Every structure is written in structure tokens, then in C-alpha cells.
Amino acid sequence: MNNQLERVRCNLCGADSYEVLHPAKYDQEKDKDLAVKFRSSGDETLIDQVVKCKHCGLIYINPRLKSGLIIRGYSQGEDEMFVSQAKGRELTFARSLKLMNKHFPKKGRVLDVGTAGGSFLHVAKKDGWQVWGCEPNRWLTKWAKKHYKLNITPGTIFDGKYKSNFFDVVTLWDVLEHTPDPKRVLLECNRILKKGGLLVVNYPDLGSSIAKAMGKRWIFLLSVHLYYFTPKTIKKILNMTGFRTVKTKMHFQQLSLGYLIFRMQAYSNVLHKIGKTVSKGLRTDNLQIPYWLGQTLVLAKKK
């Protein structure tokens, strides 16, 4: 595996001095197939070394899989499990859209980066927004076309070759922590946003109370998360890339009970079996459940 890894400097300050928070556990690797490892519903618990920059406090995986391999992994494979939860995501995004509209009431052009199956764009389009999206996974872009009639650009934000000062809003839902170079992504978001445009980012917050309480068993400690932001480091990187934070809040998401119980298996077989038995007995597998496990939503304006 060593020949697939690369060492990286801190994405926030460029330093190469860090302390190790979680040592690597490569012997526990579950998904060797990159298309499986990096699928949107991927649940491989953390096996990589996590470090904390001694200069600015950014927490990230180092060393990590080479960037080209990561992008390739995201672009391949199918993910029926992920799209099975489209209804819950639509409900989640409908609530989030109300908040977005408060901060940007004049509906215009919105780009969703890493849009997956396009559930956010579907909701935004119905609400009157002009929508654009990009997504590395080819199968998901085809799914969005078939189910939502959306034309999603296959690839990353850089593949879209969007015009400068073009969009009113750019969104990154559960995306920034997956990108090999978050600072470069945010600078590109800044370039394509109009002055005063709105950036919407939600991320798993390592500084949240539940993350601290769960420690090493926090559900978002995953090998696909290359960066672990806190309120301090997310504010720093946004400011550095030309944004001013205007709103930060807890972000509740909605998924079916059956899916949440399925995801529980990676952490506790006992709780998974009990939950599965009870849910099937009560026929509540499709019940939509709002949940919060440390997800944080940030709204920022282009300076």
C-alpha cells in the first residue's frame, strides 16, 4: 500500500510539523476496491493516520492515498444504497433551502459541488433557482438525469470550467472534508461567485460536543474524510479564501430508520441486530428520522 500513499503539508498554513492523533491501522482495511471505498454510502471506519498541525491546528489524514487515486475512486462504481435515501435528503434540503433563502432571498444561479444524485438541486429547482451541479461519479450523474431530469457535469468543480463571478450561491453538502485540496476548492468557489455571493458548507465538526463525547468511536471518523474541521479551522480557511462567515448552526439530516440501523453495523453488531429486529417487527424501516451527530452548517459571503 505504501506506493499508493503521499505525504501532504497542512492545507491551511503549509507547515509540515504535526502531532499524531490516531495512528494508522492498515491491517484493518475492509475495502481495497477504490470504487467501493469511495462510494457515497461508504462506511469504512478510520484506518489512516490522523495528524494535527502544530502551527494552526488543522486536523487531517497524513499520509493518504494519492489524489489521483481518490478522484478515480469517486468517479467509479454504482451506489444503490445511497440513492435509496433520496426522500430523506430531499426533506433535509428543503429545510436547509429555507435558511439559504433568508440569507439570499433573490433566487438566481446556484452550483452544487459534489451533488451526488442531485437531491439538493431537485429541491432548489422546484423552489425557483437556476441550478448547476458537478459530480465525479458517472453513475450518480446518470441517476440524476433519469430521476430528476438534471444535467450534471461529470467531474470536479475544476472540470466545469465555470465563468468568473457567475453564481449567486455555491453549495458543498458533505463535500469539503472529502477533497484532496480544500483551500483550492474554496478559492475556485470564490472565483465563480459574484461579489456578495453566498457559500454554503456543511461538514462533520470534530469540535462538536458529540464528537468529543464519542472520541475514537465518533461515527464520522472515516478514511474517506481527508480533513477534520473544527469551528476555528473552518473559519480560518474560509477567511483565507475570501469569505466572511455570517451564520453557523447545527445541521440536522434526515434518513430512514432502516438505513441508520444498517450503518450502525460498522460500530456495533449487537445494536445493529437489536435495531433491525425491532424495526422490522414494528415495520418502521421507512420512517424518516432527523438526526444530529456533529454536523455543522456554515453560511459565508464572498468579501
CATH number of domain containing 190? 3.40.50.150
Please check whether residue 240 is in contact with residue 183, taking contact to mean a CB–CB distance below 8 angstroms.
Answer: yes
Instruction: Residue 230: give the domain boundaries.
Output: 80-302
Q: Does the pLDDT of residue 266 top 70, yes or no? A: no
Cα–Cα distance, 222 to 204 (Å, whole number): 11
pLDDT at 81: 85
Cα–Cα distance, 21 to 211 (Å, whole number): 14
- Can you point out the beta strands (E) in the chain? 5-6, 18-22, 50-53, 59-61, 64-65, 109-113, 130-135, 153-154, 167-173, 193-204, 227-228, 243-250, 253-256, 288-291, 295-302
Does some domain include residue 52? Answer: no
Does some domain include residue 295? Answer: yes
Cα–Cα distance, 76 to 188 (Å, whole number): 24
Residue % of the chain over a pLDDT of 90: 76
Does some domain include residue 244? Answer: yes
Does some domain include residue 43? Answer: no
Q: What is the mean pLDDT of the chain?
A: 91
Does some domain include residue 259? Answer: yes
Does some domain include residue 218? Answer: yes
- The 10s digit of each residue's pLDDT in 43-87 is 778 999 999 999 999 999 999 999 999 999 999 999 898 899 999
Other CB atoms within 10 Å distance of the CB of residue 107 = 16
Does some domain include residue 41? Answer: no
- The 10s digit of each residue's pLDDT in 90-145 is 999 999 999 999 999 889 999 999 999 999 999 999 999 999 999 999 999 999 99
Number of domains within the chain? 1
Does some domain include residue 254? Answer: yes
Please check whether residue 93 is in contact with residue 112, taking contact to mean a CB–CB distance below 8 angstroms.
Answer: no
Q: What is the DSSP letter of 143?
A: H
